[in-house]
Amino acid sequence: MGKGYIVGALAMAMLIAGCGGNGGGNGTTDVAGADDGVQLIPDTTIGADYGATGPRKCSTRKVPADGPPSNETIAKYVICGGEEVTGSNLYLYDNVVVTDVAPGRPYNPNEDINMSNIDINKPVYAIKGSLRGYQCGPVMKPGGYDGGPDDHKGTNCSRTTEPNASGLCYQDTFGDWYCNMLDVSAPVNAERQVAAP
């Protein structure tokens, strides 16, 4: 990892299918071909309010202990770090693909100031890839106010495609990995009224 693009496995192994974790009969999801022990576990209780499965959390953030994570593992860390409820909205990801991981660089206090509890003795890795982000509002409860399609399951989410996402991966002082990726040039909520993931 970090030594270039994994060509043959990219289409399958680095694609995380099913926004919100639609898969895995035991309530967990994983990336095909990735044997890293990290599972994506959806919070179906929260997801039910939005007509979706998720948000997902990682079963562990400690893989690997040394060196950069694989592209597939980074994709999982992007998902479990970015899927959340903020205000009244649920944010989810799918089609997360990590294409490039730069060689590790030293901690930079000017660039890395907002990384919570970062281990300043460990390298920071720049990453590139693509993803789709969803912003979902809660679905209307029986007997509740009907605000139209935005309140109905299947049309309560908007989707943004981010083809040129970039970000960073780092370890905190507890040895946990945190990765994020964003395409700042992608229009926000560009695709309206898509089916809920």
Q: State the average pLDDT over residues 51-61.
A: 92
3-class DSSP assignment, residue 136: strand
Q: Which of 50, 17, 37 is nearest to 196 (CA)?
A: 50
Contact status, residue 54 vs residue 90, Cβ threshold 8 Å:
yes
The pLDDT > 70 percentage for the chain reads 72
Instruction: Specify the residue for token string 């992608």.
Output: 186
Phi-psi region of 51 (alpha: psi -120 to 50; beta: other; left: phi over 0): left
Q: Which segment of 25-34, 78-87, 165-174, 176-185 scores lowest on mean pLDDT?
A: 25-34
State the pLDDT at residue 43: 92
Mean pLDDT of the chain: 80
Name the residue with higher pLDDT: 115 or 17: 115
Residue of 129 and 152 predicted with greater confidence = 129
- What pLDDT is stored for residue 143 in this prediction? 63
What is the model's pLDDT at position 27? 39
Does 70 have pLDDT greater than 80? yes
Give this prediction's pTM.
Answer: 0.78
